[in-house]
Amino acid sequence: MTQKPASPRTRKSPEQVRAAVHQAIIDLLCDPEGEDLNIPAIAQRAGVNHTSVYRRWGSLDALLADMVTTRLERDSPLNDTGTLRGDLLAWAEASVANIRTREGRALVRAVVLSMPHSAQAQAGRAQQFQRRMRSIEQIRERATARGENPPPLEQILDQLVAPFYIRAIFGIDPPADGYPELLVDRLLGSGGEGGTG
Amino acid sequence: MTQKPASPRTRKSPEQVRAAVHQAIIDLLCDPEGEDLNIPAIAQRAGVNHTSVYRRWGSLDALLADMVTTRLERDSPLNDTGTLRGDLLAWAEASVANIRTREGRALVRAVVLSMPHSAQAQAGRAQQFQRRMRSIEQIRERATARGENPPPLEQILDQLVAPFYIRAIFGIDPPADGYPELLVDRLLGSGGEGGTG
């Protein structure tokens, strides 16, 4: 009981540090106080030394990218529903459910914040884009293997992915009912709504 | 020549400070070095004292919001083309031209970065959304006054506005030709493309 511990602090394993740092980012993005997101604030919230955060991740961009990649891969199992429409609908339903939660919206905003912002960082942004679109590419590949004719990736980006990002960014709730179906119908060409021009 | 100036520095007027600070943000967002965007870095680049930046704008969010509002209002004169389709096309053409420039992409990323990120800041995000969508609302109002039936605001958000944001965020160039027409056709219901489901 009175035995002196080897270290004055409880040591965290590297994986515990990583999990604590990732969670601290989400917590800060959800915090009512709206503190600026930076490495010292994240390290303090996670209860770790900020120098070890700098040593491990190097920059806030890299840390955010690691966090969103880890979370999005954990959160998006890709079931094969048997049809292109079913797979797209499942993707859209998961995305609607995601942006209805505080943590889900924070995660989308973190994706945006993690974009390397300098002009020369285009290669980094393109790589992030490839990662973010991997699940959509898998849906397209399965459709092609089935003999279906999926829309081009950029069309899916514009019509299915973009609406979720802009709603998370501006905090605009998706319609209460039928939103996944609406977006998929528009994308696959069976949507007939629209005003007169 | 040897006369002592009233002040050791050349004094900038408040409007000159504002213009210099706004330009410094754009320059930093375009900088190949990719320096973190924060008030001390912005003030240094603008050649002004960072305490006066804090005093005037209070926070980075507020400063970014002021900059994007000023730039977007300067950059988007709204011509009445006489039809809903014409007005939407003009809006889309201006947006395509905008995100083809380095400064234009930086400005869209600044809009995203300026979003208040805390969970309780929803009111701030909604206000930013209203500002960003004002030109779209004007297009809708003119259409209604002409007896046209414009699509709901949220549909224009999803189908016309969202694609520009996501492309600026991820650095995905719009198609070389016909992109404004493509988006407007999809929105107004005359687009027939799309894969088979």
pLDDT at A98 (0 to 100): 83
Q: Of B102, B82, B83, which is closest to residue B32 (Cα–Cα)? A: B102
3-state secondary structure of B149: strand
Tell me if ipTM is over 0.90: no
Query: What's CA B134's distance to the chain center, in Å?
Result: 12
Is there a contact between A126 and B170 if contact means CB atoms under 8 Å apart?
yes
| pLDDT class of A6 with cuts at 50, 70, 90 | very low
Is there a contact between A188 and B170 if contact means CB atoms under 8 Å apart?
no
Q: Is there a contact between B149 and B125 (Cβ–Cβ < 8 Å)?
A: no
pTM: 0.79
> Given the structure tokens 């006054």, which residue do they identify?
B145
Name the minimum distance, in Å, from the CA of B68 to any CA of chain A. 15
With 0-12 / 13-18 / 19 or more C-beta atoms within 10 angstroms meaning exposed / middle / buried, residue A131 is middle
Between CA A96 and CA A156 the distance in angstroms is: 16
B112-132 burial by CB neighbour count: b if 16+ within 10 A, else e? Answer: bbbbbbbbebeebbeebbeeb
pLDDT at B117 (0 to 100): 58
Angle at A26 between CA A134 and CA B43, to 5 degrees: 100
**Homologous superfamily assigned to A14-58:** Homeodomain-like (1.10.10.60)
Residue A195 or B140, more confident: B140
Q: Where in chain A is the domain with CATH 1.10.357.10?
A: 61-188
Q: Of A111, A14, A179, which is closest to residue B117 (Cα–Cα)? A: A111
Q: Where in chain A is the domain with CATH 1.10.10.60?
A: 14-58
Is there a contact between A196 and B148 if contact means CB atoms under 8 Å apart?
yes
pLDDT at B193 (0 to 100): 44
Please give the average per-residue pLDDT across A107-118, as a whole number.
71
pLDDT at A74 over 80: no
Six token digits for residue A101:
């939660």
pLDDT at A194 (0 to 100): 41
Q: Is there a contact between A181 and A190 (Cβ–Cβ < 8 Å)?
A: no
pLDDT at A32 (0 to 100): 62
pLDDT at A5 over 50: no
Q: Where in chain B is the domain with CATH 1.10.10.60?
A: 13-58
Query: What's CA A20's distance to the chain center, in Å?
Result: 18
Q: Where in chain B is the domain with CATH 1.10.357?
A: 78-188
Rg (CA), chain A: 20
Residue of B nearest to A133 (CA): B170
User: Choosing among A164, A170, A173, which should be mutated to test the B contact, i.e. which has the most B CBs within 10 A?
Assistant: A170
Q: What is the largest CA-CA distance in chain B?
A: 80
User: Helix, strand, coil shares of chain B as percentages rounded to 5?
Assistant: 65, 0, 30
Chain B residues touching A148 at Cβ < 8 A: 195-197
Is there a contact between A109 and B115 if contact means CB atoms under 8 Å apart?
yes
Angle, helices B122-132 vs A162-170, to 10°: value is 120
Residue of B nearest to A119 (CA): B30
With 0-12 / 13-18 / 19 or more C-beta atoms within 10 angstroms meaning exposed / middle / buried, residue A11 is exposed
Residue A179 or B171, more confident: A179
pLDDT digits (tens, 9 = 90+) for A121-178: 666 677 778 777 888 999 999 999 999 999 999 999 999 999 988 888 887 889 989 9
Length of chain B: 197
pLDDT digits (tens, 9 = 90+) for A22-51: 999 988 887 766 566 788 889 999 999 999
pLDDT at A88 (0 to 100): 95
> Given the structure tokens 């000159």, which residue do they identify?
B16
Using CB atoms, pick whichever of A30, A166, A188 lies closest to residue B195.
A188
User: Choosing among A61, A107, A169, A193, which should be mutated to test the B contact, i.e. which has the most B CBs within 10 A?
Assistant: A169
What percent of chain A lies above the pLDDT cut of 70? 80
Name the fold adopted by B78-188.
Answer: Tetracycline Repressor; domain 2 (1.10.357)
Residue A11 identity (one-letter amino acid) = R
Six token digits for residue B10:
């050349």
Length of chain A: 197
3-state secondary structure of A56: helix
Q: What is the pLDDT along chain B (197 residues), one digit of tens a residue?
A: 444 444 445 678 889 999 999 999 988 887 766 566 788 889 999 999 999 999 999 888 788 888 887 877 765 557 899 999 999 999 999 888 888 887 887 787 777 777 665 555 666 677 778 777 888 999 999 999 999 999 999 999 999 999 988 888 888 889 989 999 999 999 998 644 444 43
The CATH architecture one would assign to domain A61-188 is: Orthogonal Bundle (1.10)
What percent of chain A lies above the pLDDT cut of 90? 40
Chain A residues touching B102 at Cβ < 8 A: 119
> At the top level of CATH, which class does the domain B13-58 belong to?
mainly alpha
Between CA B16 and CA B83 the distance in angstroms is: 39
| pLDDT class of A4 with cuts at 50, 70, 90 | very low
Between CA A81 and CA B109 the distance in angstroms is: 36
Alpha helices in chain A (DSSP H): 14-29, 39-46, 50-57, 60-75, 84-99, 102-113, 122-132, 134-146, 153-156, 162-170, 179-188
Q: Is there a contact between B122 and A171 (Cβ–Cβ < 8 Å)?
A: yes
3-state secondary structure of A77: coil
Q: Of A75, A89, A88, which is closest to residue A139 (Cα–Cα)? A: A88
pLDDT at A197 over 80: no
Q: Of B157, B131, B163, B140, which is closest to residue B87 (Cα–Cα)? A: B140
